[in-house]
Amino acid sequence: MKKTIFTGAGVAIITPMNADGSANWEKLKELIDFQIGAGTDAIIVCGTTGESAALTHEEHVQAIETAVRHAAGRVPVIAGTGSNDTRYALELSLEAQKLGVDGLLMVTPYYNKTSQAGLIAHYEYVADRVKTPIILYNVPSRTGVNIKPETYQALAKHPNIAAAKEANGDLAALAQTLYLCGDDLDIYSGNDDQIVPILSLGGKGVISVLSNVAPAVCHQICVNYREGRVKESAALQLQYIGLIQALFADVNPIPVKEAMNLMGMNVGPCRLPLVSMAEQAREALSGVLKEFHLI
């Protein structure tokens, strides 16, 4: 059995920006403190929600360094280091490893894509050359590539591939993955509306967008389930479905950043090509936040 990187609710933390579009590292530190203070179990930096695709290499490294240094061992820090260029994925993973991260979140290659055999070759190439455990990241709606259960099974045999963030929404395929992999692969939900279903199949927790605005809620969903209060966990999941849906009413992370700004957290805009929500959509989001007593 491999060591579990974290159990519970990890936040896919946004990258805050200044008004001029530059990264706001001091605000990132504030957000990390807010998350840890609310019970978040891990910080995941430079993921999709962190706008990793719009960060320069230098910013990517600085975001990781800021998160590791400021978290200072209070919770695990996982860095997004995936790329559609295997060599660059390795380069970024080695830099993150040097900075002291607890895990590497590696999205499947996008745009150029690859076959299932190519996925195995891509991940094993990096896994053979790093010591930090890898979390596979399956989000076919963005990448156009889906990791099949049999591919997970092959990758789970590698001692340095520890887990997967599953965001393809296919619970039947996930059940097959868990059956094939057993204790060789931990699973984290990549969808906030499937936390409890994935926990019920044996998942370890969630890598969450919702946690940016409601960290204590996400943490409690996982705690309730882990401590045997399944009905309470499910009830909390269902109670927040409306907020989860509102946070995905536009391309992530547009709505969650807008929500945080409406909450007075001053995290700034998204970078182009992502643009602000239309006024009508912003008003609808504001109404949901009021309904959940967040503003």
Residue 73: pLDDT over 90: yes
Share of the chain above pLDDT 70, in %: 100
Query: For position 197, what pLDDT does the model report?
Result: 98
- Domain assignment present for 54: yes
Round to whole Å and give the CA distance between 196 and 230: 8
Find the mean pLDDT for residues 123-144. Answer: 97
Round to whole Å and give the CA distance between 105 and 93: 9
- Domain assignment present for 259: no
Query: For position 172, what pLDDT does the model report?
Result: 97
Query: For position 96, what pLDDT does the model report?
Result: 98
Residue 112: pLDDT over 80: yes
Neighbour-count burial of 258, counting CB atoms closer than 10 A to its CB (0-12 exposed, 13-18 middle, 19+ buried): buried
Q: Say if CB 55 and CB 46 are below 8 A apart.
A: yes
Query: For position 62, what pLDDT does the model report?
Result: 98
**Of these residues, 27, 165, 204, 257, which one is catalytic?**
165
- Domain assignment present for 288: no
- Domain assignment present for 74: yes
Query: For position 8, what pLDDT does the model report?
Result: 98
- Domain assignment present for 53: yes
- Domain assignment present for 144: yes
Q: Token pair 């190439």 is at which residue?
A: 125
Query: For position 2, what pLDDT does the model report?
Result: 87
Find the mean pLDDT for residues 51-67. Answer: 98
Query: For position 236, what pLDDT does the model report?
Result: 97
Query: For position 273, what pLDDT does the model report?
Result: 97
Q: Say if CB 280 and CB 249 are below 8 A apart.
A: no
Identity (one letter) of the amino acid at 115?
S
Query: For position 35, what pLDDT does the model report?
Result: 98
Domain that holds residue 142: 8-229
**Of these residues, 137, 152, 188, 240, which one is catalytic?**
137
Has 27 been annotated as catalytic? no
Q: Say if CB 126 and CB 134 are below 8 A apart.
A: yes
Task: Record the tokens describing residue 192, joined without a space.
Answer: 């906030």
Q: What is the pTM of this model?
A: 0.97
When pLDDT is cut at 50, 70 and 90, the band that residue 248 belongs to is: very high
Query: For position 1, what pLDDT does the model report?
Result: 72
Neighbour-count burial of 50, counting CB atoms closer than 10 A to its CB (0-12 exposed, 13-18 middle, 19+ buried): buried
pLDDT tens by residue, 254-292: 999 999 999 999 999 999 999 999 999 999 999 999 999
Q: Is the dihedral of CA 78, 194, 3, 9 positive or negative?
A: positive
Has 165 been annotated as catalytic? yes
> At 189, phi and psi to the nearest 5?
-70, 135
Find the mean pLDDT for residues 80-89. Answer: 98
Q: List the CATH number of the domain containing 167.
A: 3.20.20.70
pLDDT tens by residue, 207-239: 999 999 999 999 999 999 999 999 999 999 999
Distance between alpha carbon 148 and the CA centroid of its chain, in Å?
20
How many folded domains does the chain comprise?
A: 1
Q: Is the dihedral of CA 117, 159, 127, 200 positive or negative?
A: positive
Query: For position 209, what pLDDT does the model report?
Result: 98
pLDDT tens by residue, 183-208: 999 999 999 999 999 999 999 999 99
